Amino acid sequence: MATSVQIPIAEYLERTYRPDREYIDGEIVERNMGTWEHARIQMLLGGWFLSHESEWQVMVAVEWRARVSSTRVRIPDVTVVTSGPQPPVLVDAPVLIIEILSPDDSYSDTQRRAEDYRKMGVETIWIIDPDTRTGRMCIGASWTAAARLEVPGTPIFVDLPSLFAGLDPKP
């Protein structure tokens, strides 16, 4: 059985990992690495939000450390925050967090990540599955499957069929 080494969160926050790793209750935890579809969806989402930043008064970042509690740091695939100066590590609840499933992601791991974001105060979380080309949004404690993912009370949305069309090769 493998043993883990516990380190203080301050030490984790001072370090750089390649690829970056999460910090869960004193342990450094490797993240599942994405495939082509995961990486492509991440870039398509980044481009979508980047093109709407001024209109929606938001800013987008990919793989930005989010301190979800005093003992946990997660690294969401995509984070959307209100416009303005931002800290090196996200500490306040963002407008939206998006997780893109990788083939190695399990349902229970994804639910634990979403619960950490909810405890941080994130009101809207999207989970996108490139394999099944589906998405779900969590608003409060409610999960809903939808082809159009939205952030209630804002103009923020993404149309999943249009997003997934970006995965298909162009003739």
Q: Tell me, what CATH number does 105's domain have?
A: 3.90.1570.10
Mapping DSSP onto H, E and C, the string for the chain reads CCCCCCCCHHHHHHCCCCCCCEEECCEEECCCCCCHHHHHHHHHHHHHHHHHHHHHCEEEEECCCEEEECCEEECCCEEEEECCCCCCCECCCCCEEEEECCCCCCHHHHHHHHHHHHHHCCCEEEEEECCCCEEEEEECCEEEECCEEECCCCCCEEEHHHHHHCCCCCC
Q: How much is the pLDDT for 55?
A: 98
Tell me whether residue 10 is in a domain: no
Q: What residue numbers bound the domain in which 146 lies?
A: 33-165
Tell me whether residue 20 is in a domain: no
Tell me whether residue 27 is in a domain: no
Tell me whether residue 51 is in a domain: yes
Q: How much is the pLDDT for 4?
A: 64
Q: How much is the pLDDT for 171?
A: 65
Q: How much is the pLDDT for 1?
A: 44
Tell me whether residue 123 is in a domain: yes
When divided into structural domains, the chain yields a total of 1
Tell me whether residue 7 is in a domain: no
Residues of the chain with confidence (pLDDT) below 50:
1
Q: Has this prediction a pTM greater than 0.85?
A: yes
